[in-house]
Amino acid sequence: MRRLARSLLLSSLVLLPLITPVNAMAETVFRRGIGSAPGTIDPGKADLHPESIVIYDLYEGLLTPGQDGKPIAGAAASWEISPDGKTYTFSLRPDGRWSDGSKVTAKDFVYAWRRLASPQQASPYAYYVWPIVNGKEVTGGTKPPTELGVEAVGDLMFRVKLTEPAAYFLGQVAHQSMSPVKEGTTPGQVGNGAYKLAEMVPQTHLKLVKNPYFRDAANVKIDTVMHIVTENVDTELKRYRAGELDVTYTLPVTAVDWARKEAAVDYTPTPTYSTFFLALNLTHEPWKSAPKLRQALSMAIDREIIVNKVLNGDLRPAYSFTPPGKVAGYEPPRPAWAALSQKERDEQAKKLLIEAGYGPAGKPLPPVEILLTQNENNKRVMVAVAAMWKQKLGVEVVMNNQEFRVVSSIGNQKTYKDALYYGWIGDFPDPINFLKLLRSDVAQQNYPAYQNKAYDALLDKANASLDPAERIALLGQAEALYQADTPLIPIMHNTRRRLVNPRVTGWTKAPLDQNPTRFLDIKG
């Protein structure tokens, strides 16, 4: 999942005091900025971070993100895993209910997972069923969805059979795409989560109200959630300062120093399990046949300058697609050139450019078109990258700014010309979130269209292993393999910089950046 922003005159910040809103109504209302407008709230079709924020309020999977983002028991009260790691049996809660009052059953999960796998659904997360028996065949259209290895054993037992063990499977089960869907209803209209949809105004807001049938409704404190579209970060900040928002989605770079000094209690920087990167379209030349060109462009980017100067700190430079930090015990390798000074990297980049057949004595490289969202923070980064490429390598850049959803669609379809600037945040805490995107058989979310059968084989072997140490080692080998090919250029690991009103309690600095509303409250 992904995102970003735009700029602000600091003088306007001086004129606008922080205002603590007074809620005169008896009900508790939470107003949350969510960035870009959701394109869908169908759990089987959504793949953007703002969409997931809403969906986790509307739905509860077998497992679900807890307050800290880690998977906890959700619609399933318990589960058992067979000794060979290939059969999962989930026992559903007997008090599980849809927002229309009807009972949540195992058949609802059978329907939803078959729907996710169906080629007609064209879900960007269809590959989540691949570990399941016949999962690849169903998504590939060679077998019908009814052949997927899932079954309802009575109303309250859901059984899943895998082709081989998958160490990450329980984490994946907590993802929004694997939520239940009630057959015969419009997804999003009837859910089994803590809230239900009351109103949706396109490009403006989604209003959710407490679901009285939710199994844990007695412990849900907030009555109404306003998920407010805040794509313009300058406007979002002004709305927060005027008391119209309780939480912002992000913060303009130009307001970071002010927030640190003048709104320190509200300022909530959160290092996230995420990476912003440039994907190079390997279905097009020259990218398809020029690995040295790809590596030259990567090495010429001074990531320290970008995170510390261009974006004013808090973030981390990226040398791997998978973020560091030993998530699930995994620490990604770094390419050998990352140990060089930036001056040494620049010298090597110039040599690689010449070896690739470009440069002053080589053939001309047409201007590189970069597709990115209409967002000032993104633009700042890409302007800096363009300046570095021009100064060091003589490479020209053309910016193609589009709306967030347009960029996502173009990226999924691989119809961008040269490069795509994008961000990905982990869906659950495991490195497979990132590494799986570069599999040859992942259609939509493999943004550079990377193809490497040896890489795929390493992932297959890693995920079939029941030995955690062996799995970690194999994932590291796979990561090193794609790093040598440079299908994408990691630039930074994001820190979500936002404002949270001190009246909001229960908010956590969760690396997956979800904070479901059911765990929050508003005091005072």
The verdict on 335 and 402 lying in the same domain is yes
What's the pLDDT band for 40 if we cut at 50, 70, 90?
very high
The mean per-residue pLDDT over the stretch 467-490 comes to 97
Residue 385 contacts residue 301 (beta carbons within 8 Å): yes
The mean per-residue pLDDT over the stretch 191-213 comes to 97
The verdict on 328 and 423 lying in the same domain is yes
Q: pLDDT per residue over 264-304, tens digit each? A: 999 999 999 999 999 999 999 999 999 999 999 999 999 99
Residue 175 contacts residue 116 (beta carbons within 8 Å): no
Give the range of the structural domain holding residue 154, as residue numbers without chain letter.
59-178
What's the pLDDT band for 195 if we cut at 50, 70, 90?
very high
The verdict on 481 and 377 lying in the same domain is yes
Does 1 reside within a domain? no
Q: pLDDT per residue over 407-449, tens digit each? A: 999 999 999 999 999 999 999 999 999 999 999 999 889 999 9
The verdict on 379 and 463 lying in the same domain is yes
What's the pLDDT band for 57 if we cut at 50, 70, 90?
very high
The verdict on 266 and 285 lying in the same domain is no
Domains of the chain: total: 3
The verdict on 358 and 467 lying in the same domain is yes
- What CATH number does residue 417 fall under? 3.10.105.10
Does 52 reside within a domain? no
Does 54 reside within a domain? no
Entry pTM = 0.88
Does 186 reside within a domain? no
Q: Is the pLDDT of residue 466 over 90?
A: no
Q: Is the pLDDT of residue 175 over 60?
A: yes
Q: Is the pLDDT of residue 524 over 50?
A: yes
Domain-terminating residue out of 149, 178, 207: 178
The mean per-residue pLDDT over the stretch 111-139 comes to 96
Q: Which residues of 78-108 are buried (b: 16+ CB within 10 A; e: fewer)?
A: ebeeeeebbebbbbbbeebbbbeeeebbbbb
Q: In the prediction, which pLDDT does 288 show?
A: 97
| 295, burial (CB in 10 Å: exposed 0-12, middle 13-18, buried 19+) | buried
Does 3 reside within a domain? no
The mean per-residue pLDDT over the stretch 197-225 comes to 97
CA neighbor of 32 nearest in space, from 203, 229, 193, 198: 229
Residue 30 contacts residue 227 (beta carbons within 8 Å): no
The verdict on 278 and 401 lying in the same domain is yes
Coil, helix or strand at residue 225: strand
Answer with the residue of higher pLDDT: 138 or 16.
Answer: 138
Q: Is the pLDDT of residue 151 over 60?
A: yes
The mean per-residue pLDDT over the stretch 169-180 comes to 96
- What CATH number does residue 128 fall under? 3.90.76.10
Query: DSSP letters along 270-306, please?
Result: EE-SEEEEEEE-TTSTTGGG-HHHHHHHHHT--HHHI
